[in-house]
Amino acid sequence: MLQQLFRNIPDVTKNLLIINVLMFLATFLLEANDIYLRREFAMFYFDNPLFEPFQVVTHFFMHGGFGHIFFNMFALVMFGSQLEKAWGPKRFLLFYFITALGAAALHTGVNMLIVNDLVGTVSPFHDGIIVDDHLLWQELSKGQMDKLAAALYSPVLGASGAVYGLLLAFALLWPNTELMLIFLPIPIKAKYFVPVLMIGELYLGVNDFEWDNIAHFAHLGGALIGFILVMIWKRDRTKFY
């Protein structure tokens, strides 16, 4: 049965699923030999010495734990399969990558605003502010220092930005489709579920709770870029469907 289900997944979605799962397995297998893929392939703040340009792409094939990858891959198969069948493999893959990159861009942009607000520059490593950080401890409160550390040192990883783009696109194309979600065992139409989800992401992102380490603005970035792409592509219906 599982084999049949796997065969029914269209090619691009299937290959994205395989790559994500292989990277997830490699992450934990290699850590036993002190090789930390998340340190190499997750995306750090652009001014952080650990940042590498390739992380802009590799970070959305990395995941932090089983729950993280399970829900992302579940959504990828559930929504991505339908979108790939509607758009074709090339357009679907283009959409996936552009929304993932858009998610990274908005996440980085928000972090730049936070860093600039706290220390007066978006490049505290290159400007020497972090090197001589004893002044920061005198001028910033503990809460501000925690916020600065999260922006500068916490890597972002996961396919969630692209997945939120897929969710948004699915809701625009098939708004009246009823979804039966794992954590919400009652049917709810896509046109209601997705806006509520986005409002929740915005609320959590703006409030920046201490217990919350999720990159909510990355999710919103993927959804925003997904919305823009769908609106552009819908203008030419002869090529969209």
pLDDT in tens, 173-220: 999 999 877 666 788 899 999 999 999 999 888 887 766 678 888 999
- Cβ partners under 8 Å of residue 29, min gap 6: none
pLDDT at position 138:
64
Domains in the chain: boundaries = 2-240
Q: pLDDT digits over 204-217, tens only? A: 888 877 666 788 88
Residue 32 in tokens:
């036993």
How many Å apart are CA 26 and CA 13, to the nearest integer? 20
How many Å apart are CA 117 and CA 94, to the nearest integer? 35
Please tell me the class of the 2-240 domain: mainly alpha
Percent of the chain with pLDDT over 90: 63
Q: pLDDT digits over 21-66, tens only? A: 999 999 988 887 777 888 899 999 999 999 999 999 999 999 989 9
Residue 121 in tokens:
């520059």
**Burial annotation 211-234 (CB, 10 A radius, 16+ → b, else e):** eeeebbbbbbbbbbbbbebbeebe
Residue 160 in tokens:
């969630």
Question: Residue 43: helix, strand or coil by DSSP?
Answer: strand
Can you tell me the mean pLDDT for 134-149?
A: 77
Percent of the chain with pLDDT over 70: 90
- ∠ CA 196-210-117, nearest 5°, is 95
How many Å apart are CA 166 and CA 73, to the nearest integer? 12
Residue closest to 47 by CA, chosen among 130, 126, 108: 126
Residue 176 in tokens:
């009246």
Mean pLDDT, the chain, integer:
88
CB atoms under 10 Å from CB of 200, counted, come to 12
pLDDT at position 241:
43
pLDDT at position 240:
45
